[in-house]
Amino acid sequence: MDLIIGAGISGLSYAAATGNDYQIIEAEDQIGGYCKTIYKDGFVWDYSGHFFHFMRPELRDYVMSRIAPDEILTLQKHTQILYKDRHVDFPFQMNIHQLPQEEFIDCLYDLFSIPEGAPSDTFKQMLYAKFGRSIAEKFLIPYNSKLYATDLDRLDVDAMGRFFPYADREQIVRNFRHPEGHSYNATFLYPKRGCIRIVDSVASTYGHHRPPYAPLRPPYLHYAVAHTALALQCAV
């Protein structure tokens, strides 16, 4: 018997994948965890905006095949940064030509004046070494410090992985004339009835179909103790 703590997307996916008996324990009165939707006054409200962009097509098909096709929207992301008196397209580093002329020149000058061998051991150092002082200090450092709520010198150079929109000088300059939708989620899927439809889709598989990927089975899980929000203690 597997004891699954939490009916978020992780717990529900595990339940859908395992061949074992399982018990799911959920502290809330609804499934979904962070991925929940409220319907109110004709509007659809998600607890947090979710972009669905599946790396593996078989997983996309697995989840989406349980949602009516006309319920699924394919959307192009359009994100802008409110910078002083204007909106600048995201990512900032690709769109410095939309800044006031003086600031554009600062960014461009610094981008092409990065000292040879500038240190790049932390995330903050990498921002200076890759984009120059102006792009780093005008946007990338304040934005990412706020987003990750930490001093960026405490983060590993590749802390954001594929979620950080890297761009080299040639791409930045090319983007002045030929804008590209640069980011890992430039296009994404969204169910009209909110992100809970993804959760419902996974939950609807119980006992019927196994997903087309190998379930994760911890090989040496002999004993575990779980404390729930209801102070329930279980041994498995």
Ligand X SMILES: Cc1cc2nc3c(=O)[nH]c(=O)nc-3n(C[C@H](O)[C@H](O)[C@H](O)COP(=O)(O)OP(=O)(O)OC[C@H]3O[C@@H](n4cnc5c(N)ncnc54)[C@H](O)[C@@H]3O)c2cc1C
Site for ligand X contains 168 (CB under 6 A): no
Site for ligand X contains 76 (CB under 6 A): no
Indicate which single residue of 4, 14, 16, 50 sits in contact with ligand X (rule: CB under 6 A): 50
- How far apart CA 68 and CA 61 sit, in angstroms, is 12
Q: Which residue, 120 or 185, has its beta carbon nearer to ligand X?
A: 185
Site for ligand X contains 63 (CB under 6 A): no
| Site stretch for ligand X (CB under 6 A), options 47-55, 70-78, 126-134, 214-222 | 47-55
Site for ligand X contains 51 (CB under 6 A): yes
CB atoms within 10 A of CB 185: 14
Site for ligand X contains 229 (CB under 6 A): yes
CB of 8 to ligand X, least distance (A): 2
| Site stretch for ligand X (CB under 6 A), options 31-39, 68-76, 134-142, 215-223 | 31-39
Q: Which residue, 50 or 182, has its beta carbon nearer to ligand X?
A: 50
| Site stretch for ligand X (CB under 6 A), options 7-15, 60-68, 140-148, 152-160 | 7-15
Q: Which residue, 5 or 167, has its beta carbon nearer to ligand X?
A: 5
- How far apart CA 224 and CA 236 sit, in angstroms, is 6
Indicate which single residue of 2, 4, 9, 98 sits in contact with ligand X (rule: CB under 6 A): 9
Q: What angle, 0 to 180 degrees and rounded to 10, lies between the N-to-C axes of helices 196-203 and 9-17?
A: 20
The candidate with the shortest Cα–Cα distance to 34, out of 66, 8, 1, is: 8
The candidate with the shortest Cα–Cα distance to 183, out of 90, 98, 99, is: 90
- How far apart CA 116 and CA 196 sit, in angstroms, is 50
Q: How far from the centroid of its chain's Cα atoms is residue 196's Cα?
A: 16
Q: Which residues contact 159 (CB under 8 A, 6 or more apart)?
A: 123, 148
Per CB under 6 A, residues contacting ligand X are: 5-11, 25-28, 33-35, 48, 50-51, 228-229
